[in-house]
Amino acid sequence: MGRRGYPAEFRCKVLDVVEAGRSVADVARDLDISTETIYAWRRQDRIDRGLAPGLTSTEKTELAAANKHIAELKAELDIHCRASVLLGEAVPQKTVRSGRGDGRRGTSGPSRRPGAGGLRVRILRLA
């Protein structure tokens, strides 16, 4: 389970206090929070408001969910691949036998239908 962090309402109040003019160091010391945490919140707030480039909080959440889904799909694919390998080892593959010797199915000679397949010879008459 991931870390819980601080509630969004608390973060907003801290950022409001910093915006009001108090220094980040003073707020961090009073609330027993690291200054890096407050700077990160302020940077993310600016991104969310469109004042700085970067991924918004919503985009980060969606990206994390997509990455988690991709990881689950990869794990599922690995399971299927491993099962396929194990089944391939346990169950021998069927061999298709035909009289042709070229791997194609069917009879060894020309088709049994009249006029189909085989070699036709035409005789040309010279008159």
**φ and ψ at residue 112, rounded to 5 degrees:** -80, -5
* CB contact set of 100 (below 8 Å; sequence gap of 6+): 106, 107, 108
The pTM of the whole model exceeds 0.75? no
pLDDT tens over the chain, length 127 residues: 445 789 999 999 999 999 999 999 999 999 999 999 999 999 999 999 999 999 999 999 999 999 999 999 999 999 999 998 888 887 777 776 766 555 565 555 555 555 555 555 555 556 5
Judge whether 26 and 53 are in contact, CB under 8 Å: no
Number of residues in the chain: 127
Judge whether 118 and 110 are in contact, CB under 8 Å: yes
